[in-house]
């Protein structure tokens, strides 16, 4: 069976988006870790950081399933939420494994209400209790990070120079540390100004990424909690900037661009479950 897809990206973080809702004209699409990883492979598949499947939702306008490049299904992806918001247009409520979020598309970009931040050690989750604002742990020169769950788990290190950190080497070590029973996304951030930070992210199940929307949310929220910046916060990623607004007890509002790359089809039988 031929399956239609769109290739999209948010600041270079790229997605295969399959609209499997009845109104799209596509039949339901079965997805597994094996099939998702094969489609995400850049040499023998279509290639992407994440594969997105849109389905009907009893709780929102649409259900968004998110598969990382390694095939793992995850709870949230901020850049993908903006891409889906652009695809669907207007105001949308989007169901994810991390909860229901809301997007609003406009001529200047897509704003996504990512919901509340959670800071409890068991919300991240961590393997045991500790202060998540100043964690008494470290990996080589990366020490005393902060952690937050913004729909998925993040740990962020505030460092003098994010560009100087060998995140390609340390990222997978931290991601898979037993402290994080569901693995973790790893960010290194540098404060550039009163409301401005630079961020690099090692994304769980993906690797180094040009942009990570939830990572930008995590870094901004944790920088605000530590009183390192005031909001709204501009977060510069390798792929470009995002704006993050958050106040204590409120939800996280992320605003930034998304774009179409191309459309195509693939033969479902060529990618077995």
Q: Are 211 and 13 in contact (CB under 8 A)?
A: yes
CB-based burial label for 69 (10 Å; 0-12, 13-18, 19+): buried
Give me the catalytic one of 77, 105, 126, 159: 77
Give me the catalytic one of 38, 53, 212, 222: 212
Known active-site residue 48: no
Q: Are 16 and 46 in contact (CB under 8 A)?
A: yes
Cα(93)–Cα(103) distance, integer angstroms: 6
What string of H, E and C letters represents the secondary structure of the chain? CEEEEEEEEECCEEEEEEECCHHHCCCCCCCCHHHHHHHHCCCCCCCCCEEEEEECCCCCCEEEEEEECCCCEECCCHHHHHHHHHHHCCEEEEEECCEEEEEEEECCEEEEEEEECECCCCCCCCCCCCCCCCCCCEECCEECCEEEECCCEEEEEECCCHHHCCHHHHHHHHHCCCCCCCCCEEEEEEEEECCEEEEEEEECCCEEECCCHHHHHHHHHHHHHCCCCCCCEEEEECCEEEEEECCCCCEEEEEECCEEEEEEEEEHHHCCC
Known active-site residue 212: yes
Cα(232)–Cα(255) distance, integer angstroms: 10
Catalytic residues: 77, 212
């Amino acid at each position: 069976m031929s399956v239609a897809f769109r290739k999209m990206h948010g600041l270079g973080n790229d997605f295969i988006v399959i609209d499997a809702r009845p109104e799209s004209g596509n039949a339901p699409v079965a997805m597994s870790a094996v099939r998702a990883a094969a489609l995400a492979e850049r040499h023998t598949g279509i290639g992407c950081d994440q594969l997105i499947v849109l389905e009907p939702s009893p709780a929102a306008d649409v259900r968004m399933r998110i598969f990382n490049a390694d095939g793992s299904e995850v709870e949230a992806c901020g850049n993908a939420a903006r891409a889906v918001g652009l695809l669907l247009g207007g105001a949308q409520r989007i169901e994810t494994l991390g909860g229901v979020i809301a997007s609003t598309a406009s001529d200047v970009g897509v704003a996504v209400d990512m919901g509340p931040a959670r800071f409890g050690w068991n919300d991240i989750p961590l393997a045991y209790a500790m202060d998540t604002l100043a964690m008494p742990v470290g990996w080589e020169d990366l020490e005393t990070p902060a952690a937050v769950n913004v729909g998925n788990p993040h740990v962020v290190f505030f460092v003098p120079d994010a560009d100087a950190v060998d995140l390609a080497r340390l990222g997978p070590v931290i991601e898979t540390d037993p402290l994080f029973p569901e693995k973790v996304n790893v960010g290194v951030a540098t404060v550039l100004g009163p409301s401005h930070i630079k961020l690099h992210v090692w994304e769980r199940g993906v690797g180094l990424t040009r942009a990570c929307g939830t990572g930008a949310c995590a870094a901004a929220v944790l920088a605000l909690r530590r009183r390192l910046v005031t909001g709204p916060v501009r977060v510069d990623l390798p792929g470009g900037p995002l704006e993050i607004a958050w106040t204590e007890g409120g939800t996280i509002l992320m605003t930034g661009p998304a774009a179409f790359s191309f459309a195509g089809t693939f033969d479902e039988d060529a990618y077995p479950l």
